[in-house]
């Protein structure tokens, strides 16, 4: 349990930051799941349209510090590769 005033403030701050970060994390997870489901259903048009949204949210999450830049880049690459490989 936090004793000092600064430790208590840190706990409050961590709680709000966690909630803020979870919004980005959940958006990323949901969009990637959607893209993968479109790939499995062989819906190339929908998957390619959603790709730009995935790029956008990954870049934004990396910009605000929720995930690292290289992590965002790796995820974008893997999603693009998945779509490209599926719809040749």
Q: Look up the CATH number of the domain holding residue 54.
A: 1.20.58.110
Query: 27-82: per-residue pLDDT in tens?
Result: 999 999 999 999 999 998 899 999 999 999 999 999 999 999 999 999 999 999 99
Q: Are 9 and 17 in contact (CB under 8 A)?
A: no
Any idea which residue has 């979870």 for tokens? 22
pTM here is 0.86
What is the Cα–Cα distance from 88 to 74, expressed in whole angstroms? 21
What is the Cα–Cα distance from 26 to 61, expressed in whole angstroms? 11
Range of the domain at 11: 5-86
Structural domains in the chain (count): 1
**39: its two tokens:** 């790939």
The per-residue pLDDT of the chain, averaged, comes to 94
Provide the pLDDT for residue 87: 79
């Amino acid at each position: 349990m936090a004793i000092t005033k600064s430790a208590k403030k840190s706990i409050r701050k961590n709680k709000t930051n966690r909630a803020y970060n979870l919004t980005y994390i959940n958006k990323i997870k949901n969009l990637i799941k959607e893209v993968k489901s479109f790939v499995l259903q062989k819906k190339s048009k929908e998957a390619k349209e959603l790709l730009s949204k995935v790029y956008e949210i990954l870049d934004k999450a990396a910009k605000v510090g929720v995930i690292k830049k290289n992590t965002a880049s790796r995820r974008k690459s893997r999603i693009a590769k998945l779509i490209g490989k599926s719809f040749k």
